[in-house]
Amino acid sequence: MPGPTKNLSPTKHVKKLPRFIEPALAELVKEPPTGLDWIHEVKWDGYRIQAHIENKKVRLFSRSGLDWSSKFPLFAKELKSLSVHNAILDGEVVCLDQEGRSHFHKLQEALKKKESQHLYYYLFDLLFLDGKDLRDRPLQERKEWLKKTLRSGAPGRVLYSDHMQGPGKPLVKAACAYGLEGIVSKDLKSSYHSGRSSQWLKSKCHLRQEFVIGGYSPGSRNEFGALLVGVYEDEQLRYAGKVGTGYTEQAIEGLKRKLKKRERRKSPFQLNSPREKGLHWVKPDLVAEVTFANWTTDHLLRMAVFQGLREDKLPRDVLHEGLKKRMPKPQRTPLVAMTNPTDLLYKKERLTKLQVARYYQDVAPWILPHLASRPLSLLRCPEGTKRCFFQKHLSGKVPESVLPIRIKEKSEVETYLTIVSKEGLGALSQMRVLEFHTWGSSADNVEHPDQVVMDFDPGPGVPWKRIIEAAQEFRKILSRLGLKSFVKLSGGKGLHVHVPIAPVYSWKQIKNFARTLAYEMKSRHPERYTLSMSKAAREGKIFLDYFRNERGATFVAPYSLRARELSSVALPLSWRDLDKTKQGDEYTLAKTYKHLKQRKTDPWRDFFKEAPRISILSPA
């Protein structure tokens, strides 16, 4: 099959295309860059779509990786006509008016009515072509090959997104005068980088971005007044203000139906939550597109106008675009940052020190909330899993990203280790830490635990099904007390159930509480459970280990690897997924990666939002 790859510069060759590539994103700037090394494109107001062509099969993915092929069959049909074996293309689907301006709300209306006469797919980048990974090639070269590739197909609604070179300031002015959203400026020499970077910059005519919906206020329009919206800041949802205009009656009806299904009792805003009476709170899983005049000094919206809901953006990715300081995307540890990166830590799986470090960098958004500012005990393995030792206290020289916590123990003050960042994770990976164990309290409130942990540790002869039944029984007891529970595989033989609580009780109270629950379970089924640490007493029984709730005791952190023959992970699961598991060490590093890519939601994402009091206890 003839194609445009005849003179393509040598680059990395792949046999199979990746399923999805996180798209490159532009940083918001007040003024566009100048100089001949920059090009400027129209900032389209639509849905970012990544097209995958492989063996004449076309799949279209949203910016968050959802398969949206069924939404745009017209574009899939046109892309099949391109003379390529396989390719990955990046672009934006838009709905144009008669003057060639794109409108997001018109695109939503067209999709609802299944009308396609005004829809176009503008392509501005080429990531893979005929088995060659082009992401390391300069943008100028990628765009040249994109233009040639599109010429090989029949003309239609899949179009090349052209650009201009030169000073960006007059182009922004012209774009705004014409009624466009703005421009995107790109470094011609840049490679393709997933995530937000300064190699792509966006200049907007009006302030506009996405916001997470956390509730709504009452009003005269069918009991609807305004949306309450926010942005994520260091993994916490900050209230950003009200959006009170821009709604049609049809939009209000649709919103009310969605919001009613998501109502909850407590505010989802951890920062700056409004305290007016009569507000309705909702589960924060909807994203709205909003235009607004500016931000106040308190970072609240002024003159906000609703544009529509965004189905292509994850709530956790919604940040304050105007702030320079933002939660960074997970970045993999570079090879040069590690000493002895090829040393084998898991010999049976041939997993190296670098691969372990990369794993912890990749899961940093999930593991860090369970480690940050908590006293840690670390299992270090200098020679792989065969020879390991625990480190509880600070000793010797440690990196700056590993922080000291001073805690009084009996008559002495001991210094523990903790971390607060990905850099800290990387530093501990350099120290060959495989396992992370943590206290059930934070460093700033060390005498008051913020969770209860029950370890279901099976003795010889206990089937896995019975361990699951035990955890489910414990969950029911907690539910009757109004407590929500979260389950994780231990990475060993058993299960751990975590119960977030308000940090207002003493260690003694929480240990007695956990022991009482364990005794209740044992009294019901003495043939199944034991509360004795003795190995002889565990034959055919499950040890209900409530001792994890003592001051100074630890438990393995969620997402931590275990230092065993295989790289098992202490993996958090949903209660539904638990029923599908076969054993506590089922998920190795490789299988965990696969699971994380496939799961649609984080089953523990509300863990730190749940902090109820225990009804049968009085605060210490």
Q: What b/e readout covers 428-464, taking b as 16+ CB neighbours within 10 angstroms?
A: bbbbbbbbbbbbbbbbeebebbbbbbbbbbbbeebeb
The closest of 353, 359, 351, 358 to 341, measured between CA atoms, is 353
Are 239 and 214 spatial neighbours (Cβ–Cβ below 8 Å)?
yes
Type of residue at 597: K
Residues 6+ apart with CB under 8 A from 133: 11, 12, 13, 14, 127
List, as one string, the DSSP characters of 293-332.
Answer: SEE-TTS-EES-EEEEEESSS-GGG---TT-S--PPPP-P
Type of residue at 210: E
Are 120 and 106 spatial neighbours (Cβ–Cβ below 8 Å)?
no
CA distance 407 to 412: 9
The closest of 213, 325, 226 to 269, measured between CA atoms, is 213
43 is catalytic: yes
Catalytic choice (43, 132, 353, 422): 43
Residues 6+ apart with CB under 8 A from 526: none
Q: Label the pairing between strands 433-438 and 376-380.
A: antiparallel
Are 565 and 494 spatial neighbours (Cβ–Cβ below 8 Å)?
no
Six-digit token pair at 468?
A: 């699951």
Are 214 and 269 spatial neighbours (Cβ–Cβ below 8 Å)?
yes
CA distance 569 to 387: 19
Give 282's strand partners: 263
Six-digit token pair at 511?
A: 């240990």
Are 40 and 183 spatial neighbours (Cβ–Cβ below 8 Å)?
yes
How many CB atoms are located within 10 Å of the residue 191 CB? 15
Which residue numbers are catalytic? Answer: 43
